[in-house]
A and B are shown apart, each in its own frame.
Chain A
Amino acid sequence: DAGVIQSPRHEVTEMGQEVTLRCKPISGHNSLFWYRQTMMRGLELLIYFNNNVPIDDSGMPEDRFSAKMPNASFSTLKIQPSEPRDSAVYFCASSYQNSPLHFGNGTRLTVT
């Protein structure tokens, strides 16, 4: 089992640019979660999908953020336009039914 795979591991971009983060959940898992982690706020849930359908996006900070899950094995989180305050580590996690979450290695985003 390869675990949850995220790409890229690191992303450095300039303010105003579009950023796309990618996630491949564990095969067979039917729930996928996007979290953001900062020193000040810790781990915050942005959005989660169940069977590829967005269930709760109340944590998405603003319209600049969007997430998609076109199939069971792929999800993207897009920020357009990016801002310096978006700098954080973004984690994707997946689970099966109500099992505990398995996290990917994260994407460290730096917006200058």
Chain B
Amino acid sequence: QKEVEQNSGPLSVPEGAIASLNCTYSDRGSQSFFWYRQYSGKSPELIMFIYSNGDKEDGRFTAQLNKASQYVSLLIRDSQPSDSATYLCAVTWGTASKLTFGTGTRLQVTL
């Protein structure tokens, strides 16, 4: 059974701080890694994806991938109250679009 694990949270960070969200996966054959953001009552929306070991930056967001340790993380710099949401980690094996999701980490950015 291929699994994706996330701490459910809530993770609480003050406004302006760095939020660090982590995800581990069970299968070394995993190929692609995605972070989705989901606001309460809304659908998941793609934030970032990463395929290779190392860091990938997009604005305030940085995805980090370490295939040897089987984890992927998402850093959010200068956290804003509007970043408060559930962040879903997703992994693919084989077919790039067939995603297996973690249960998500709820992030709360406090004023």
Q: Which residues of A contact B (CB under 8 A)?
A: 31, 33, 35, 41-45, 48, 55-56, 91, 95, 97-106
Partner of A103, one of B43, B49, B98, B103: B43
Contacts of B34 in A (CB 8 A): 100
Most A CB contacts (10 A, CB to CB) among B46, B98, B102, B104 go to B98
User: Within the assembled complex, what's the spacing in Å between the Cα atoms of A93 and B87?
Assistant: 18
A interface secondary structure, majority: strand
If A42-B102, A42-B104 touch, whether A98 touches B97 (CB-CB below 8 Å) is: yes
User: Within the assembled complex, what's the spacing in Å between the Cα atoms of A31 and B44?
Assistant: 17
If A42-B103, A42-B104, A100-B34 touch, whether A48 touches B43 (CB-CB below 8 Å) is: no
Decide if B100 is an interface residue (CB 8 Å cutoff): yes
Q: Which residues of B contact A (CB under 8 A)?
A: 34, 42-46, 49, 88, 95-104
| Contact indicator A43/B98 (Cβ below 8 Å) | no
Contacts of B46 in A (CB 8 A): 100-102
Q: List 23 A-B contacts (CB under 8 A).
A: A31-B97, A33-B97, A33-B99, A35-B101, A41-B103, A42-B103, A45-B98, A45-B100, A48-B97, A56-B98, A91-B43, A91-B44, A97-B97, A98-B95, A98-B96, A99-B97, A100-B34, A101-B46, A101-B97, A102-B46, A103-B43, A103-B45, A105-B43
If A31-B97, A98-B95 touch, whether A43 touches B44 (CB-CB below 8 Å) is: yes
Contacts of A104 in B (CB 8 A): 43
